[in-house]
Structure 1
Amino acid sequence: MRTPNGVHALVRRTHEERVLRALQENGALSRAEIGRVVGLSRTTLSEITADLLQRGAIVVVDTDASRREGSGRPAERLALDPASAQFMGVDFGHRRVHVAVAAASHEVMVSGSVRYDDTAPWRERITLALDLVERLTTEAGVHYGALQGIGIGVPGPYPVPEGTARPRTNAAGTVLRPAPEGVDVAFAERFDAPVIVDNNTRLAALAEAISGADSIDDLVYIRLSDGVGGGLVVGGQLVTGSAGLAGELGHVTVDPSGRPCRCGKRGCLETVASVPAILAACWEFGLPLDGLRDLADAAARAHPVANRVLREAAGALGRVIGAATMTLNPSKVVIGGEIAHLVPVIVEQVAATLAAELFPTAAASPLVEAARLSDDDGAIGALAAVFHSSPLLARYPETADVRGDCGTRSSLSEGAAHVRP
């Protein structure tokens, strides 16, 4: 019995959508890789890709010659037409906002950042971010007529817990602004595109969890930067918690009589292991340093003050991660932030502390490594969130559709956000 034309057309359109979705989530793939992802026969896939190529929906971007093993003809790698759609990732840190714009092919077209004071109100931060986007538009000639989605990372808990929407003051007198006041509406209205908002470090954890050949089902991620934040993937799910506080390891108390923290408590991990805290401790012990590069140089020279401060900070970090590891039993611990790459002793000391803190069995010890992403991981994680539809996002909030310094091009597949199913 011959299949009716209408049914045949529906099946073919379904196959096309699966191929296009695989390329949206993964970036460039060979036909064989597409076949493994979508489960179509070689003949059917050949017909589908030939038609999509003819219509211009997908393009040939390169071959797999550079990574192909053995002999044989290099296979073409296909991707969505870069001009068919754009996606934006925005990371609001404590002292700077970073923006990255990617094409449908996952190529990062432009990126840039601008700094602000950590007491700056959200209205000012949002204005600076929107101005940055406009500057990138002018300098790189990128326009946003095909913008399909925006992912935004914000510091602190998200969704914001009840009762903390209004600014308050901590013990040090710093005004706290935990609520991203209208950030989703501002971007949605400016660009007429749907918006996802979440904690920026949690988005970075997402990017790290999906960075390799296989997704990591159980991961503890912590980022050391102007503050200390964390993200958890448990049982294949990106965890937010009942009040958006899951993964806030930077505010675990490590010294009850320690320095005041921006959160209002004393002696949080952030007061010991953040980059400003480490640099301040070096100054207190007689080693004035002008930023991370100086710290990295001092660590490379095994300066006793730098070595002492770094190992004490990493030891505190390791004990906090150890408690999380005993609770969650992750297969991997990832330490993010530029300091993790510039000062390897941080990762080494955390691994050594975990080895001493955990059960003395190989199976109980997670792999500890520096993040694959650079310090723009929140922006790349935000891009991953809008690109991705894996089980990691099965309980992710619905996309909010409330319509009404410049970098070079790179590929998400070269960083950690090469999204895989």
Structure 2
Amino acid sequence: MDDPRGDGRGAALKRLRRSHQDTVLAALARPGGLSRAELAEHTGLSRSTLYTIVGDLLADGAVLEVPGSAVPGSRGRRATRITANPRGAVRIGLDIGRSRVHVAFVDTAGRRLATGTRQLPPLPHWNRRTDAAIGLIRKVAADHDLSAAAPRGIGIGLPGPVHLDERGRILGEDTRIRQLRRVQDRIGEAFGAPTAVGNNTRYAALGEALWGGARGAENVLYIRVSDAVGGGIVCQGRLLTGRRGAAGELGHLVADPAGPPCYCGGSGCLETYTAIPALLEQCRENGLTVADAADLVRAVRAEDPAACRAVTGAADLLGAHLARLAAVFDPDQVIVGGPLAGLDRDFLARIRSLVRVHCLASVGEPPEVRAAELDDDAGALGAVAALERGSEPLSVANLQAR
């Protein structure tokens, strides 16, 4: 009889083999490696299972066999030791956006090995974005002498809410959801790797908490202001996703119920006032033509009145909402990403001031407000972290393979 969940015996055996491989890689996280006998002792695997798993990992390039110390009484014969190959046992993170794909490779100790970006025409079909993602993984692996043949996993960040079932599959049956499921399937099949999927901006929050501006903080409020406004919340070291994967949609907080319509179906959303397209339109209404975010930043630095008015107005609105969220969530840090975050006086400093003024004085010092550090790397690195599904709070330390 078929398994009602759609998992056959072969799939179950494949998951068991992957689990054994992760157990071996976790044991090899220590410097110097281990002999096969020591590996058997550390992992509890039988000798035959261990030798099969080590053989598979050697074939995949995930581990290396190196000479060890001389074996007593063996006339100079040296025992071999197995060590993790930092350039072979990799995890891969993808951030697949509206007009670009970004990839990050991370080793078993949580170290960044390589990143890469491929620009795309605005809003290409998902087939084209998937082809670009697969091609980019292979190119970056080849350019940096990394193995993409059998990665330990691939995290995939996608735009929009992503609601998952208990097995990490995307729920829903509309056209967009079917397309996203196909993205997940194609990428997993292309590299024979398990996948994790989620919202790319939420993943960026996780990336900043582990590798970026909020390193060491367990409670982080993240917002990114770009072509859209999104965010993410890391609480006690874990990314909050909510009931349907929509936790952190900060751009759709209501700034004015009587405001302009938003594509989400609401009105007066924060994004309709503070996203880059809205600021460019405000500049045009005041006689200043700016083509994109880079133009806007240059105009602010040149102290153009229309540009400064648009950006400071956005900062004041964002700061007021972030202060309210900080009162509810009580974060250690507020991280602000996007092209405007480098404008300290006219943007970041105003947000910082409003958060400081409006936070609860009775709970002590307000959260630190900082610019994001990872830029395009954040979403892809956060996608790597999402591959870790253990019960412990996420940290770089427990990104080591299990």
Same fold (TM over 0.5): yes
How far apart, in 1, do the equivalents of 2:310 and 2:236 lie? 35
Shift of 1:296: 2.1
SS of 1:220's partner is: strand
Specify whether residues 81 and 209 from structure 1 end up closer, same or farther in structure 2 by C-alpha distance, changes over 3 A only.
same
Check the 8 A contact 2:227/2:275 in 1, yes or no. Answer: yes
2:346 is aligned with 1:339? no
Larger radius of gyration: 2
Question: What is the deviation of 1:272?
Answer: 1.9
Q: Is the 8 A contact 2:150 2:191 kept in 1?
A: no
Map 1:153-164 onto structure 2 (within 5 A). 153-159=157-163
For 1:242-253, list aligned pairs within 5 A.
Answer: 242-253=243-254
- Give the distance between the partners of 2:178 and 2:349, measured in 1 at CA: 33
Matched, 1:166 2:174: yes
Amino acid at match of 1:384: A
* Structure 1 stretch displaced more, 360-369 or 210-219: 210-219
Segment of structure 1 superposing worse, 234-243 or 310-319: 234-243
How far the C-alpha of 1:140 sits from its partner, in A, is 6.0
* Equivalent runs, 1:25-64 vs 2, <5 Å: 54=68, 57-58=82-83
Report matched runs for 1:355-366 at 5 Å.
Answer: 355-361=356-362, 363=364, 365-366=366-367
Measure, in 2, the Cα distance between the counterparts of 1:256 and 1:166.
29
What is the CA–CA distance in structure 2 between the aligned matches of 1:150 and 1:328, rounded to whole Å? 30
Name structure 2 gaps, 5 residues minimum.
1-21, 32-64, 69-79
Q: Does 1:113 align with 2:118?
A: yes
1:380 matches 2:388:
no
- Alignment of 1:195 onto 2:195: yes
Give 3-state SS (helix, strand or coil) of 1:365's partner: coil
1:280 & 1:391 partners in 2: Cα distance? 46
Distance 1:230 1:337 in 2: 11
1:182 corresponds in structure 2 to 182
CA change 1:249–1:160 in 2 (3 A) is: farther
- Residues 219, 333 of structure 2: 8 Å contact kept: yes
Question: After the TM superposition, which residues 277-292 of structure 1 pair with which residues of structure 2 at under 5 Å, given as runs?
Answer: 277-292=278-293
What do residues 33-84 of structure 1 show as CA deviations (whole Å, max 9, x unaligned)?
A: xxxxxxxxxxxxxxxxxx98845755xxxxxxxxxxxxxxxxxxxxx53333
Q: Distance in 2 between matches of 1:140 and 1:329?
A: 41
Percent of pairs with identical residues:
35
2:316 corresponds to 1:311: no
The aligned residue for residue 4 of structure 2 is none
Q: Name the structure 1 match of 2:206.
A: 206
Q: Distance in 1 between matches of 2:316 and 2:157?
A: 28
Contact 2:137 2:148 (8 Å CA) reproduced: no
The answer as to whether partners of 2:116 and 2:136 remain within 8 angstroms in 1 is no
Q: Distance in 2 between the 1:109 and 1:263 partners?
A: 36
Equivalent-residue separation in structure 1 for 2:305 and 2:181 (angstroms): 45
Match of 1:96 among 100, 124, 140: 100
Aligned partners of 1:248, 1:123: CA distance in 2, in Å?
26
Letter in 1 for 2:353: A
Q: Aligned match of 2:155 in 140, 151, 161? A: 151
Which deviates more from structure 2 when the two are superposed, residues 137-146 or residues 314-323? 137-146
Q: Cα 1:272–1:376, aligned 2, differ >3 Å: closer, same or farther?
A: farther
Q: How many residues align?
A: 328
1:83 aligns with 2:87: yes
Match of residue 256 from structure 1: 257
The residue number in structure 2 matching 1:419 is 396
Question: Structure 1 residues 199 and 339, CA, compared in 2 at 3 Å: closer, same or farther?
Answer: same
| Aligned equivalents of 1:217, 1:141: Cα separation in 2 | 34
Mapped contact 2:150–2:192 kept (Cα < 8 A): no
Partners of 1:101 and 1:17 lie apart in 2 by: 17
> Which is worse superposed, 83-92 or 106-115?
106-115
CA contact (8 A) 1:329 1:364 kept: no
Greater length-normalized contact order (CA 8 Å, ≥ 6 residues apart): 1
CA apart distance, 1:290: 2.9
| Paired residue type of 2:156 | I
The residue type paired with residue 166 of structure 1 is D
Structure 1 residues 53 and 112, CA, compared in 2 at 3 Å: closer, same or farther? farther
Seen in structure 2, the aligned counterparts of structure 1 residues 110 and 239 have a Cα distance that, compared at 3 Å, is closer
Aligned to 1:145, the other structure's residue is in SS state coil
Aligned to 1:30: none
Q: Which whole-Å CA distance do the structure 2 matches of 1:214 and 1:100 have between them? A: 18
Q: Are 1:210 and 1:420, in contact at CA under 8 Å, matched by a contact in 2?
A: no
C-alpha separation in 1, matches of 2:178 and 2:352: 32
- Alpha-carbon deviation of 1:19? 6.0
CA RMSD of aligned residues (A): 3.4
Deviation at 1:133, TM superposition (A): 3.4
Q: Using a 3 Å threshold, how does the CA distance of structure 1 residues 115 and 267 change in structure 2: closer, same or farther?
A: farther
User: Cα deviation per residue 1:278-329 (whole Å; 9 max; x = unaligned)?
Assistant: 2222222222123233222222222211111111111111122122111111
The one-letter code sitting in structure 2 at the alignment partner of 1:324 is: L
Q: Is contact 1:251-1:270 (8 Å) kept?
A: yes
> What is the deviation of 1:121?
4.0
